[in-house]
Structure 1
């Protein structure tokens, strides 16, 4: 039996939703968040105190100075991938952005050094993102989840997940016995985190959070980067403004400085506003009767934040279909007005890291290459799984190498 659903896009209503106590309105498994991708200890599936504990443990590794320590590696990954781009030949940039995002997850978050494990996990994770239609149906409809052997849609999926699970657990087991305390990868920092009782995350918790970051953070970041590149190169003036800001930096580019570039931040924010990679936020289930803007909602009702609808409100964003980064220079939008990563206690735990990755990758690309769009008018949003991607993988052409800022050369000389 389907539960009644309410999609919320009014800022005042969203503010109420995000401020409602979790005893009355919360997400997690009771709200139907039980994807076969993620385990029961995933932050997405937890609720109440276990969810609060997990967020406290995960927040430090994905924020602040510890996060900034990985900036050079993100730039290096971006440069190495972009070196493969052909000169003066059309190519789809989205696969390269998926490669960058995948490498960042496996090298920066997982800290993988075993080449065989790295290559296998990368191949399997990218394969999961190209899920066939029948497998998508099985993921969405539990009744279709039938293991009819290795060649059946669900059977092959289960075997791929099992292989990924084993690879992740092998890495966790090895890392547990490691004595190197100077690593900056996110997994190492997660393993050092302790809760209020001085207890670390269990192996199951580490596994479930890692696979959540692997699946939820790959295609979303790559797609956000693709849309941002589209809007940058679709407007000569926006490109010129952004290039002037990036070129004004010293040769010794500091990730902390790039993170805070005002126009780069405005461009990324506007890209996430006009085409948020997911249309809605995590659904919440009403646990006890609540009132939202005069509407009475009974227990069992699902409340869904409408991200796309909110971002396209005329009263919030005049001329919402136009790409105007200046909106974010002229005004500070509240969390219930601008919510590309969701909001409240269910805001994506990796939001700050994702934005940081976007900015480091974009600054690297802008500094090294001159690029143009192939037929900008033909680029339309298409639904691919849970995200909105640019059609045809975003066709672009590199016209020449700039190399105004030698990120990697400088990083290696330090």
Structure 2
């Protein structure tokens, strides 16, 4: 805008330019597509199934209506419509990040690329709606899974026929960009320090190093380091001690409580809650593929860590160790990327662990979970491991939600923001 007058930006692109751009786009993401498709099967199908389970008859009728206009846009509207039932902005963020990376909307602008036929979309949406209306979740799952697999095979055949991969040095992996308001270095550094306090360099330390030493170590200013410790203090993870330094509040000690009157703490607690829900619906599949891929030596190290937590009385860390195992050890880059971010967001619940101990038998539940998990790992029963984790996370999610609501959180703070809801509602119309 100049002197109160709007500026018009004119963008002109020939059909040849568009075709070249699309070819270049796909060639540089060539090696990520297969991985991201497998990741999507493990992450999204459980989320879509849960969204469908929450739909009433009128909402399922809306899927039938979408099938009458079987366009690619309406296919995306279907996924948005279903995932929005989960009321989780982090899930919607992840969905759009993967959709944009895969570039299917971009491909539709090129007349030479046809990823979905109208009949395929119509049959798919009608089948999903039909089985969902009958509450036949076994067949619903089969339809979702089969469509995703067949669609990817179509895309794979097209890409292999028409597009050559760019050199390895130019390949672009999937990165999950989480939308934040006014992101600051101190928040990402806080997550790094929380990790070090739980499982890294400071896991056995009583105090953090001085601001000056940490500023050099993490290559940030002393003022940034002070802001980071300020955040951790109000999170309940550290406690300044006059004349001594910054004491680490251990989970097993239960002496750190979050200050939920601080806006950044509340925002990051909401991220923790939303990440927790993604874990609840996707952990069984993500852990199963990871435990099937890691080496016997890695499983041995995991068992040793879990036994250590039992001996120290800090079994609350067991779940974080499992998330970290997925973030590092999954054979799929997409799972590693997603669970790496989820692990970081989940660390914001650091000080909720001792708070949960006010719940009846919660500490005993952590210990029993750790013992049962070790036993399943001893027999290499991967199905049992995954099932145990799914069951445990589902129970702990309820505890976390009750705690946050009891301490003043409103559902609209934890759930889908009105701006995202409005956007999707507008698109659906």
Greater helix fraction, Structure 1 or Structure 2: 2
What's the TM-score once normalised by structure 2's chain length? 0.28
Q: Give the TM-score normalised by structure 1.
A: 0.29
Higher share in strand? 1
Q: Which has the larger radius of gyration?
A: 2
